[in-house]
């Protein structure tokens, strides 16, 4: 069971991500906005970590 737990976690995360992405695939503009938001979040995280 200990070995299975991380695998199940990965499957759960990828399933959740798939469900989150499906609505954005339908609307390309929203998908683009979502990607921009992720980029902005990643930049601010990098700044907080002092990587920028």
| Closest alpha carbon to 23 in 34, 11, 9 | 34
In the chain, domain spans: 4-48
Q: Where do runs of H (alpha helix) occur along 1-27?
A: 4-26
Report residue 6's pLDDT band, with 50, 70 and 90 as the boundaries.
confident
pLDDT (tens digit, 9 = 90+) per residue, 10-43? 888 777 777 766 665 666 676 677 778 888 888 8
Round to whole Å and give the CA distance between 19 and 16: 5
């Amino acid at each position: 069971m200990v070995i299975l737990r991380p695998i199940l976690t990965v499957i759960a995360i990828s399933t959740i991500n798939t469900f989150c992405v499906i609505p954005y695939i339908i609307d390309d503009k929203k998908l683009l906005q979502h990607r921009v938001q992720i980029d902005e979040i990643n930049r601010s995280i990098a700044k907080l970590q002092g990587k920028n």
